[in-house]
Amino acid sequence: MVTAGDFRNGMTFEEDGNVMQIVEFQHVKPGKGAAFVRAKVKNVISGSVVEKTYNPTAKFPTAFVERKDMEYSYTDGDLFYFMDPETYEQVPVSQNELSDNFKFVKENMVCKVCSYKGKVFAVEPPNFVDLEVTETDPGFAGNTATNATKPAILETGAEIKVPLFIEIGDKIRIDTRTCEYMERA
């Protein structure tokens, strides 16, 4: 059990049959009246974020979210299969559970698969991935006075903006949290 007075960022708990995660919290002690906890909580299954106030003595059962490293194996229609490296079991994940930044993941990459009571609700790709540029326009000499970028298509099919000096065949590092070019790999 966890009390609202013990809330910390990232903590997960059960409330009304939902699994909630603390995004932000603040203990408020007004001059008049009782203290309370104002928290921004995210429903980890649906992804919705709401702001709520709690009595600091309110108790909630702790929700244990399992985050397991699994290797992305292959895609079959709308199902993406991940292999558990310990048991070699294939776990199918629906395309609905994947975030937009999954477009940077290629086969055999290790991702974190998040589940609660056996139900997968999210897949987190690695923070940084190295991918090859398969298609981009040529850069022009002397066009580097400003921080100019051009579109590039990567080996996974994802499209991002890259600096003008990047050529076809270059390996680049991408931050999957911001979906931006970082550096040459």
CATH classification at residue 56: 2.30.30.30
pLDDT-derived band at 111 (thresholds 50, 70, 90) equals: very high
Query: What is the 8-class DSSP label of residue 62?
Result: B
pLDDT-derived band at 43 (thresholds 50, 70, 90) equals: confident
| Pair 75, 119 in one domain | yes
| Pair 16, 30 in one domain | yes
Using CA atoms, how far apart are residues 148 and 139, in angstroms rounded to an integer?
Answer: 10
The domain boundary, picked from 124, 146, 171, lies at 124
| Pair 54, 13 in one domain | yes
| Pair 99, 116 in one domain | yes
The tokens of 161 are what?
């903006």
| Pair 72, 120 in one domain | yes
| Pair 76, 111 in one domain | yes
The domain boundary, picked from 41, 60, 79, lies at 60
pLDDT at position 140: 63
Give the chain's domain count.
3
pLDDT-derived band at 23 (thresholds 50, 70, 90) equals: confident
* pLDDT (tens digit per residue) in 140-171: 655 555 678 889 999 999 999 988 888 889 99
Residues of the chain with pLDDT > 70: what percent?
96
The domain boundary, picked from 124, 145, 162, lies at 124
* pLDDT (tens digit per residue) in 49-105: 899 999 989 999 988 888 899 999 999 888 999 999 999 999 888 887 787 888 899
pTM of the model: 0.71
| Pair 47, 74 in one domain | no
pLDDT at position 130: 92
Range of the domain at 98: 66-124
